[in-house]
Amino acid sequence: MRVLVIGLGGVTNGGKTTLAEKLKKMLPKCDIISQDDFFKPESEVETDERGFKLYDVLDALYMDELVKSIRNWMKSPASSGVLTELQSPCDNLKSAEDVYILIVEGFLLYNYEPLNELWNRRYFLTLPYEECKRRRSTRVYQPADTPGYFDGHVWPMYLKYKTELEENASSIVYLDGTKAQEELLTIVYSDIIQELKKLMD
């Protein structure tokens, strides 16, 4: 039994969750872990001097729990409730029947060192400022974004962590989140299939 751990990171509202869900339907024995499930309760998230809740930083998340969840999955993916039959219509995947795939999706995946030894492949979705702000304004969050929150906290933190990545991390595939979902899906799916084939060789 082998495992493939795929990171799907990037900007808020970049299409990570949608892409992860579509990949899950196309890939054999595929599971998803979402970083959003590891946010600390609001009472434990710091507030800055402007009154902004600092959600877009590593300290707002139980990152050690996320690592533990991924490691637990890697130890026994078959017990995670993943479908055991091959879902993909792809004949060339028949040989991959003993490979389990985990997609971890979230906005801050590659800036936490303990996670970086777990990835087989890493993808990072980007969006230009205007498009990201437009998409963010259509979403309802709990707690809701306060006026000025995107410009005052969300976008600056995205740029900070993205710069860190570009300086320190290699082998990340950057994806343009303005492209059609189907196009992004084709790119990532083909890439994962190549990775699966390497694993089978």
Residue 36 is a catalytic residue: yes
SS3 string, the chain, reads: CEEEEEEEEECCCCCHHHHHHHHHHHCCCEEEEEHHHHECCHHHCCECCCCCECCCCHHHECHHHHHHHHHHHHHCHHHHCCCCCCCCCCHHHHHHCCEEEEEEECCCCCCCHHHHCCCCEEEEEECCHHHHHHHHHCCCCCCCCCCCHHHHHHHHHHHHHHHHHHHHCCCCEEEECCCCHHHHHHHHHHHHHHHHHHHHC
Q: Which of 36, 37, 98, 176 is catalytic?
A: 36
Distance CA 95, CA 75 (A): 21
Dihedral over alpha carbons 123, 109, 135, 32 (to 10 degrees): 80
Instruction: Please state the length of the chain.
Output: 201
Active-site residues, by number, are 36
